[in-house]
Chain A
């Protein structure tokens, strides 16, 4: 494809455009600073109105979004927003026919609400009465209603006094031109939804987590579902007009999805989601007020997306960082436990062979086929934690290490014995199985194992199978050591040449 050279060819031009923007920003620095001051002190009447409107909308959408997200209907807002189009078109036509003002807001909103609710009812009907799934119901309602709306708009454009230009801005939204009555309207609707969610918090919680249980306790599931969906309709319609279709969807989905990364409790999740929604609403509108030519709806979405990125990576419950740290910690402890047990088993064998000094790294790496880097980092960590001491290549368990290693070996062998005697697992296979379980054995389980197996309480049981390295005693280790020595000699020879 010739796209890449094209991009490269355009790069200087792009850089120039970008730089000119930066310079323009620097030149306007004073103006921007003043703007920021004005914004911070809420001096502009218009800014005040816009910020108030977007903040309440963000808050309400955040709260309602939590419930739709948990009901796996995150894209409900999308479907509903599209479903309002035929309503707007129909009310436009009807108003024209009866000689009312076609563009009066209450009439258009009434139409939008009517088809929005019809969309909700259709979604619930498709979900409850047919075998189609949630997402298909949303997709069907979205496309069919939107198609009907587009067809009606096609007719409106041919009407004698049809100037449907205003209708499109109704769909796409324009935040900056919000006036006080709009803001009050948004705030009223948002507060209504918030109050609705607050009053029915317990019921909605049940509905989200266990619909069937809620039904069996006598809660009116269908009514609750309808109430929730109605508040989605209200938010969508109010938001459509204020910030546009895509922005409504974003405000309904992203804050809630971000909040999920921080907490496991619904109450906290709702609070966090409302917080993110409010913050994004305020800051998005604020940025758009300070900098010229940044559409506020898009900025709100981008700030939400920033929050989402932050939550995905750093969320304290499900964030990627937290989860990978947790996994790393588990992996390390498993590795350490394997290492200590191997040390114990090797010294057991070494005692019988009367080799008292420590165990070499080469012997260890043969014993469990560790990768070298893995082994060395485990050894280093264990030295630091005081389980072993290391002199050169020789490793020795400390006193603390011996106790811990004995405990681990005992757990491992108890579990092996249990598997052999009570679970009928072949002795040749128990080592592997026990490897997985030994790390999660609780002290109570160990005590129980002891009573079941009625072993001597303190003794470490004999390994029920031959330890792998007992067979070819330490000759393997010696071979490895010899190999290493040979290699070293070779290298030295090469260097000499």
Chain B
């Protein structure tokens, strides 16, 4: 990026504030995701409207401290009401959250429109607090001029980190097994309400200074990404913090860089941070080492190709065994395996590269190496047939499809055991000979 409009005094502070906000939100967000309450962040940012209205009405000013207390109070109430309705009304978590926050929002709206004449406070300023403006609002702390939002959010971050470190054991046990927690002797409800209070404080402090988009996104998306690639709570928290920091940096960079390509100045950092965290989640969901969607698909695909290759060499072996022909028509092989033309070409090339078949003028023949592979496969197949018939008692007309499936997963060790189990039999139930074991490694 040659001409990135980067200014350390402005962009440096924005990124720093964004990082602090993102980390404190995703710290508590981990537990929201684990407790299936991901929508709480969104609900609180909407529900605090009456709190703001009351604070405004009481103080007749938009100064931030009363606003903060009003909003945080209502935020905590949202969590409490939700829990109460869920418990006493036996309503599903999401539904009770939906009831509470919409009602509170409507109440706030009526309150604002009806009771305060000169409305200096509208839904927009609640929904879009602006992180770009944070460097302009400075406070003096210990002789240094730092943005107020950065200062506040750092305090919140310290609070969150301290509480989570102190109560990690309790939070872990109540998140994963509330009944165990109750039986061990500490109340899941107390921990739950403590968590709700931190969530409310974090949400209000964050959206008041940097906007609600960021709160909702950072509470859910980095923990969700971390959840996909970890299996331990501590590593999940750590990874989610890393994702949060990365989203903050990438988000701001793309907010000032991407619009430039189309001839615009810059766009909302908060919005782009949400998008950046979404991109991270997408990448994680696709390429997570064990559960990634793309990884799983790739494994399925390679397994399918491997089985197809097995079938081709085994077919060539049987042709040679039955008819004495060293080679078979490519077309005929493809049709008897009912295989797609392009796929077949791909597999043929692959087998050629591995040196297991040779192709001469549309005729395929096995190389020595391919012959060994095929021989072991056919050996597995016939051993399994014998074993299924003799030892398991599967009826003779059903052993072939079973053996057809098993042969691909059988290694030499298992073949040896099968061989012993069928009393070193030399022919299979259909009367064909069981070929000898061939070691591919030693030959090549």
Q: Residues of A with Cβ closer than 8 Å to B? A: 1, 3, 6-7, 10, 14, 17, 21, 69, 72-75, 78, 126, 129-136, 138-140, 142-144, 146-155, 158-159, 168, 172, 246-247, 249-250, 252-254, 256-257, 260-261, 293-295, 297-302, 304-305, 308, 312, 318, 320
Instruction: Indicate if the CB atoms of A150 and B88 lie closer than 8 Å.
Output: no
Q: Which of B109-130 contact A (CB under 8 A)?
A: 109-110, 113-115, 123-124, 128
Instruction: Indicate if the CB atoms of B113 and A294 lie closer than 8 Å.
Output: yes
| Measured CA separation A75–B123 after assembly (Å) | 20
Partner of B59, one of A6, A158, A297: A6
Chain B residues near A172 (CB-CB < 8 A): 123
Which residue in chain A gives the minimum CB-CB distance to B216? A143
Instruction: Indicate if the CB atoms of B92 and A318 lie closer than 8 Å.
Output: no
Instruction: Indicate if the CB atoms of A75 and B110 lie closer than 8 Å.
Output: no
Which residue in chain B gives the minimum CB-CB distance to A138? B39
Binds A, one of B153-161, B263-271, B312-320, B377-385: B263-271
Instruction: Indicate if the CB atoms of B106 and A297 lie closer than 8 Å.
Output: yes
Chain B residues near A3 (CB-CB < 8 A): 58, 66, 69
Instruction: Indicate if the CB atoms of B271 and A148 lie closer than 8 Å.
Output: yes
Additional 14 contacts, C-beta under 8 A, given A140-B224, A250-B103, A301-B105: A1-B69, A3-B69, A14-B57, A132-B224, A132-B228, A135-B93, A139-B221, A143-B217, A147-B217, A147-B270, A150-B271, A151-B271, A151-B275, A253-B95
Chain A residues near B255 (CB-CB < 8 A): 151
| Measured CA separation A159–B43 after assembly (Å) | 32
Partner of A154, one of B98, B262, B267: B267
Partner of B216, one of A7, A146, A250, A318: A146
Which residue in chain B gives the minimum CB-CB distance to A291? B114
Partner of A298, one of B42, B69, B109, B227: B109
Known: A148-B274, A308-B99. A250 touches B268 (CB 8 A): no
Chain B residues near A249 (CB-CB < 8 A): 98, 102
Partner of B38, one of A21, A135, A299: A135
Which residue in chain B gives the minimum CB-CB distance to A157? B267
Partner of B58, one of A10, A139, A256, A295: A10
Instruction: Indicate if the CB atoms of B278 and A129 lie closer than 8 Å.
Output: no
Chain B residues near A312 (CB-CB < 8 A): 85, 88-89
Chain A residues near B217 (CB-CB < 8 A): 143-144, 146-147
Instruction: Indicate if the CB atoms of B66 and A150 lie closer than 8 Å.
Output: no
Would you call B191 an interface residue if the criterion is a C-beta within 8 Å of the partner chain's C-beta atoms?
Answer: no
- Distance in Å from the Cβ of B238 to the closest Cβ of chain A? 19
Instruction: Indicate if the CB atoms of B285 and A126 lie closer than 8 Å.
Output: yes
Instruction: Indicate if the CB atoms of A139 and B220 lie closer than 8 Å.
Output: yes
Would you call B181 an interface residue if the criterion is a C-beta within 8 Å of the partner chain's C-beta atoms?
Answer: no
| Measured CA separation A151–B365 after assembly (Å) | 61
Q: Which of B396-434 contact A (CB under 8 A)?
A: none
Instruction: Indicate if the CB atoms of A138 and B38 lie closer than 8 Å.
Output: yes
Instruction: Indicate if the CB atoms of A136 and B98 lie closer than 8 Å.
Output: no
Which residue in chain B gives the minimum CB-CB distance to A150? B271
Would you call B439 an interface residue if the criterion is a C-beta within 8 Å of the partner chain's C-beta atoms?
Answer: no
Majority DSSP secondary structure for residues of B touching A: helix
Instruction: Indicate if the CB atoms of A144 and B277 lie closer than 8 Å.
Output: yes
Would you call B5 an interface residue if the criterion is a C-beta within 8 Å of the partner chain's C-beta atoms?
Answer: no
Residue of A140, A153, A257, A302 contacting most chain B CB atoms (<10 Å): A140
Which residue in chain A gives the minimum CB-CB distance to B128? A150
Chain B residues near A158 (CB-CB < 8 A): 259, 264-265
- Distance in Å from the Cβ of B307 to the closest Cβ of chain A? 23
Would you call B219 an interface residue if the criterion is a C-beta within 8 Å of the partner chain's C-beta atoms?
Answer: yes
Instruction: Indicate if the CB atoms of B66 and A147 lie closer than 8 Å.
Output: no
Instruction: Indicate if the CB atoms of A254 and B213 lie closer than 8 Å.
Output: no
Instruction: Indicate if the CB atoms of A295 and B124 lie closer than 8 Å.
Output: no
Q: Kindly count the residue-residue contacts between A and B in the assembled complex, taking CB atoms under 8 Å apart.
A: 220
Instruction: Indicate if the CB atoms of A133 and B106 lie closer than 8 Å.
Output: no
Instruction: Indicate if the CB atoms of B110 and A151 lie closer than 8 Å.
Output: no
Instruction: Indicate if the CB atoms of B39 and A143 lie closer than 8 Å.
Output: no
Instruction: Indicate if the CB atoms of A293 and B113 lie closer than 8 Å.
Output: yes
- Distance in Å from the Cβ of A457 to the closest Cβ of chain B? 44
| Measured CA separation A348–B239 after assembly (Å) | 72
| Measured CA separation A129–B105 after assembly (Å) | 34
Would you call B175 an interface residue if the criterion is a C-beta within 8 Å of the partner chain's C-beta atoms?
Answer: no
Chain A residues near B33 (CB-CB < 8 A): 132-133, 136
- Distance in Å from the Cβ of A317 to the closest Cβ of chain B? 11
Instruction: Indicate if the CB atoms of B95 and A302 lie closer than 8 Å.
Output: no
Instruction: Indicate if the CB atoms of A254 and B98 lie closer than 8 Å.
Output: yes
Instruction: Indicate if the CB atoms of A139 and B88 lie closer than 8 Å.
Output: no
Instruction: Indicate if the CB atoms of B274 and A75 lie closer than 8 Å.
Output: no
| Measured CA separation A297–B42 after assembly (Å) | 19
Instruction: Indicate if the CB atoms of B123 and A318 lie closer than 8 Å.
Output: no
Chain B residues near A134 (CB-CB < 8 A): 36, 94
Instruction: Indicate if the CB atoms of B94 and A72 lie closer than 8 Å.
Output: yes
Instruction: Indicate if the CB atoms of A298 and B94 lie closer than 8 Å.
Output: no
Instruction: Indicate if the CB atoms of B259 and A133 lie closer than 8 Å.
Output: no
Chain A residues near B36 (CB-CB < 8 A): 133-136
Chain A residues near B198 (CB-CB < 8 A): none
Instruction: Indicate if the CB atoms of B106 and A144 lie closer than 8 Å.
Output: no
Instruction: Indicate if the CB atoms of B115 and A17 lie closer than 8 Å.
Output: yes
Chain A residues near B37 (CB-CB < 8 A): 135
Which residue in chain A gives the minimum CB-CB distance to B284? A130
Which residue in chain A gives the minimum CB-CB distance to B41? A139
Instruction: Indicate if the CB atoms of B89 and A7 lie closer than 8 Å.
Output: no
Instruction: Indicate if the CB atoms of B278 and A260 lie closer than 8 Å.
Output: no
| Measured CA separation A22–B345 after assembly (Å) | 85
| Measured CA separation A305–B99 after assembly (Å) | 7
Chain A residues near B265 (CB-CB < 8 A): 158
Instruction: Indicate if the CB atoms of A261 and B102 lie closer than 8 Å.
Output: no
Instruction: Indicate if the CB atoms of B220 and A136 lie closer than 8 Å.
Output: yes
Instruction: Indicate if the CB atoms of B275 and A294 lie closer than 8 Å.
Output: no
Partner of A320, one of B58, B69, B88: B88
Chain B residues near A136 (CB-CB < 8 A): 33, 36, 38, 220, 224, 227
Nearest 10 pairs of A and B residues by beta carbon: A147-B274, A144-B278, A253-B98, A151-B271, A150-B271, A139-B38, A154-B267, A143-B217, A301-B106, A250-B102
Instruction: Indicate if the CB atoms of A318 and B90 lie closer than 8 Å.
Output: yes
Instruction: Indicate if the CB atoms of A139 and B219 lie closer than 8 Å.
Output: yes
Instruction: Indicate if the CB atoms of A139 and B98 lie closer than 8 Å.
Output: no
Instruction: Indicate if the CB atoms of B114 and A75 lie closer than 8 Å.
Output: no
- Distance in Å from the Cβ of A120 to the closest Cβ of chain B? 16
- Distance in Å from the Cβ of B36 to the closest Cβ of chain A? 5
Known: A75-B97, A302-B107. A318 touches B89 (CB 8 A): yes
Instruction: Indicate if the CB atoms of A293 and B114 lie closer than 8 Å.
Output: yes
Known: A148-B274, A312-B89. A129 touches B293 (CB 8 A): yes
Instruction: Indicate if the CB atoms of A140 and B58 lie closer than 8 Å.
Output: no
Question: Can you report 17 residue pairs joining A to B where beta carbons are below 8 Å apart?
Answer: A3-B69, A6-B58, A74-B94, A126-B285, A130-B293, A139-B216, A140-B220, A142-B39, A144-B275, A150-B213, A158-B264, A254-B99, A260-B91, A293-B114, A302-B106, A312-B88, A320-B89
Chain A residues near B124 (CB-CB < 8 A): 168
Known: A75-B97, A253-B98, A295-B113. A147 touches B273 (CB 8 A): yes
Would you call B245 an interface residue if the criterion is a C-beta within 8 Å of the partner chain's C-beta atoms?
Answer: no
- Distance in Å from the Cβ of A86 to the closest Cβ of chain B? 9
Instruction: Indicate if the CB atoms of B216 and A254 lie closer than 8 Å.
Output: no
Partner of A78, one of B98, B128, B272, B274: B98
Known: A144-B277, A151-B267, A158-B265. A131 touches B57 (CB 8 A): no
Instruction: Indicate if the CB atoms of B268 and A257 lie closer than 8 Å.
Output: no
Q: Which of B75-104 contact A (CB under 8 A)?
A: 85, 88-99, 101-103
Chain A residues near B221 (CB-CB < 8 A): 139-140, 143-144
Which residue in chain B gives the minimum CB-CB distance to A292? B114
Chain B residues near A130 (CB-CB < 8 A): 228, 285, 291, 293
> Per-residue 0/1 for B272-312: is the Cβ within 8 Å of any A Cβ (1 yes, 0 no)?
11110110010001000001010000000000000000000
